């Protein structure tokens, strides 16, 4: 077998847009012949997959995975995108999302680290490339988040769940809760807060976690409004502080009114659970993934394109 150099692999990758491992295999199979390697990739459908990589993928699924680790838990949420909701209903696509979410349970890093993780005999990235070639749409592992608590639980909630599936949907939320006592009660607390997060979409866990620049922007706006009212500076300052407290109640998870009981804040809900389990309880963090959130969707209508290609029924 001819020795394949890194420069050859890079050249083929630049030429085809296919992943490094597939390029290396193509060169090995063709004795280092660049053109033959391109043909080999085309025959395997991988070059076709690469050509789809510039197409917007804003549909798909959000997938969750959880695992009990003794007195604690691990949980992960991932967003796997495709171009159309038709593919999001594909069983192979959904199975891949589940497998990637399970793999994320052991990856302490971002989506880039997860893409390099093993999914059986191949990496997550390679598995997605092969799925693109098989199904025929661009796909992207857009993001992932993992929580692990040594003592406590991670509550999970899926909104807009795929039919017959509790771990796949359009919005996925994880809430990590740390504490001793009844793990089932802590997990229920985490799930109830996760349901709240899905509806309320807080910006941060606590006031200290708010983006300083966002906080300063709000303060500047409130200050300008207060001064424009013609109030004395001392009164205007109190008005600003009052409006900031209102902002915290809207933006900060622990300060928000619980959606199931607006008379209780999330902070108070946590405290009441701590009293029940007889141990301090702390919300360590949360993640809320909404499918396609922040993606600039293509102006084209993929469903219309398919209809145009297949003709009237």
Are 25 and 67 within one domain?
A: no
The residue from 54, 71, 92 where one domain ends is 54
Centre a 10 Å sphere on the Cβ of residue 114 and count the other Cβ atoms it contains. 24
Q: Identify each DSSP E strand in 192-280 by its residue range.
A: 257-258, 261-265
- For residue 29, being part of any structural domain is answered with yes
User: Span 215-227, mean pLDDT?
Assistant: 82
Domain that holds residue 220: 211-249
Mean predicted lDDT score pLDDT of the chain: 86
The first and second tokens of residue 264, run together, are: 């209780």
Token pair in block for residue 138: 């661009």
Picking from 258, 80, 293, 61, the residue whose alpha carbon sits closest to that of residue 166 is 61
pLDDT, average across residues 43-64: 68
Q: What's the N-to-C CA distance of the chain in angstroms?
A: 52
Task: Specify the pTM.
Answer: 0.74
Q: Kindly tell me if the per-residue pLDDT of 2 is higher than 60.
A: yes
Domain CATH for 217:
1.10.286
Give, in order, the Cα–Cα distances in Å from 17 to each of 10, 112, 113.
10, 18, 20
Q: What is the pLDDT of residues 232-250, one digit of tens each?
A: 778 878 888 888 888 889 9
* Whole-number pLDDT of residue 51: 53
Number of Cβ within a 10 Å radius of residue 249: 12
**In 3-state terms, what secondary structure has residue 283?**
strand
Q: Max Cα separation, the chain?
A: 84
The string of pLDDT tens digits covering residues 280-297 is: 999 999 999 999 887 655
Residues 6+ apart with CB under 8 A from 118: 103, 124
List the single range of 151-160, 200-209, 219-228, 301-310 with lowest mean pLDDT.
Answer: 301-310
Residue 100 lies in a domain: yes
Same domain, 139 and 81: yes
Mean pLDDT of the 66-80 span:
96
Considering the domain architecture, whether residues 149 and 284 belong to the same structural domain is answered as yes
Give the mean model confidence (pLDDT) for residues 147-162.
Answer: 95
Whether 48 and 188 share a structural domain: no
- For residues 206-228, give the mean pLDDT: 84
């Amino acid at each position: 077998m001819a020795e394949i150099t890194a420069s050859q692999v890079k050249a083929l990758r630049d030429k085809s847009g296919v992943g490094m491992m597939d390029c290396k295999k193509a060169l090995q199979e063709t004795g280092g012949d660049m053109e033959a390697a391109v043909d080999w990739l085309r025959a395997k459908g991988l070059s076709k997959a690469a050509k789809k990589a510039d197409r917007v993928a804003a549909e798909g699924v959000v997938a969750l995975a959880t695992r009990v680790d003794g007195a604690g838990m691990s949980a992960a949420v991932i967003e796997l995108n495709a171009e159309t909701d038709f593919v999001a209903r594909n069983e192979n696509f959904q199975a891949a999302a589940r497998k990637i979410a399970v793999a994320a349970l052991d990856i302490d890093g971002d989506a880039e680290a997860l893409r390099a993780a093993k999914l059986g005999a191949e990496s997550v990235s390679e598995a997605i490339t092969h799925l693109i070639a098989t199904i025929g749409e661009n796909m992207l592992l857009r993001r992932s988040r993992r929580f692990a608590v040594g003592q406590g639980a991670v509550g999970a909630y899926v909104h807009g769940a795929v039919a017959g599936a509790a771990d796949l949907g359009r919005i996925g939320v994880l809430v990590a809760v740390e504490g001793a006592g009844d793990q089932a009660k802590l997990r229920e607390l985490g799930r109830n807060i996760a349901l709240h997060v899905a509806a309320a979409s807080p910006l941060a866990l606590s006031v200290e976690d708010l983006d300083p620049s966002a906080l300063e922007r709000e303060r500047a706006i409130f200050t300008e409004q207060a001064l424009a009212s013609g109030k004395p500076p001392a009164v205007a300052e109190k008005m600003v502080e009052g409006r900031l407290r209102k902002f915290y109640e809207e933006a900060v998870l622990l300060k928000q009114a619980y959606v199931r009981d607006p008379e209780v804040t999330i902070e108070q809900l946590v405290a009441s659970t701590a009293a029940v389990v007889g141990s301090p309880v702390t919300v360590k963090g949360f993640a809320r993934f909404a499918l396609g959130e922040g993606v600039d969707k293509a102006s084209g209508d993929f469903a219309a394109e398919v209809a145009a290609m297949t003709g009237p029924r």
